[in-house]
Structure 1
Amino acid sequence: MLQVYGIKNCNTVKKAIDWLTENNKEFTFHDYKKEPATLEKLQEWEKEVSWEQLLNKKGTTWRKLTPEEQTAITDAESANAALLNNNSMIKRPVIESPKGILVGFDAEEYKTKL
């Protein structure tokens, strides 16, 4: 079964959940607001995708950081500290599947990897 991580009111997460439902994919949803990501989970994902892929630089949470805070994120350790401090900066959704980790919503990628 797929594990989907995100925030329920995120439009990208809604698109992903709609796609999974329409394509009869079973999944469990983990809401960051109720079940925050852990360092262990971030490090597990980073075995397959880079910390850069997990860091959402397009969201409002990123834009609220000062330029100094943004430039201080230079490696997995500093990125993970920032992501743990604010799970809203994790690009959404993150999907754990038997074929690997998917980050974000891409219908074509979903078709081939789910």
Structure 2
Amino acid sequence: MQQVNIKVYGIKTCNSMKKAFEFFAQHKIEYEFIDYKNCPPSFTFLESLDNHIALQNKGGLHCLINTKGTTYKKLKSEYPNIADAQDISKEMIIAHPSILKRPLILVQCNGDISEVLIGLEQLEYIISGG
């Protein structure tokens, strides 16, 4: 029997995260929450995430960058070499985790990542079963 776990990454005070928490409560879905403010992503985690996103044909790690947010805009003004999200390095993400879109949801089957979901609009995937 497959054991499915859901890990939700984000920032507790973010409005998108509050909506995600409401969704999980409404649908009685258990999950583990990891707050970027208390536990920023590691280089190894970002490498693994990059690989899984590429396997899902969703692009690469750059698709996780919130280009509409203030963190991205601030970094772009501080570093003129940043032309777009692809120019954001893993080190920048680690130093500024609020640059990531939220929620970031990892669906794991038997300990392995089976799906990477990005943003509120993908929450329905969880209850539809893909």
- The bucket for the TM-score relative to the shorter chain is 0.7 to 0.9
Which of these residues, 6, 11, 17, is aligned with residue 7 of structure 1?
Answer: 11
Residue in 1 aligned with 2:83?
71
Answer with 1 or 2: which has the greater Rg: 2
With over 3 angstroms needed to count, the CA separation of the structure-2 counterparts of 1:39 and 1:6, relative to structure 1, is same
Normalising by structure 2, report the TM-score.
0.75
Residue in 1 aligned with 2:57?
none
Q: Considering only aligned residues, what root-mean-square deviation do their CA atoms show, in Å?
A: 2.1
Q: Structure 2 stretches of 5 or more lacking a match?
A: 54-59, 109-113
> Counterpart of 1:8 in 2: which secondary structure?
coil
Q: What percent identity do the matched residue pairs reach? A: 30
Matched-pair contact (CA < 8 Å) for 1:62–1:70: no
Partner letter of residue 89 of structure 1?
Answer: I
- How far apart are the structure 2 equivalents of 1:18 and 1:69? 39
With over 3 angstroms needed to count, the CA separation of the structure-2 counterparts of 1:102 and 1:5, relative to structure 1, is same
Matched-pair contact (CA < 8 Å) for 2:64–2:100: yes
Normalising by structure 1, report the TM-score.
0.85
Question: 1:19, CA displacement in angstroms?
Answer: 0.5
1:112 aligns with 2:99: no
Partner letter of residue 124 of structure 2?
Answer: E
Q: Structure 1 stretches of 5 or more lacking a match?
A: none
Residue in 1 aligned with 2:92?
82
Partner letter of residue 41 of structure 1?
Answer: F
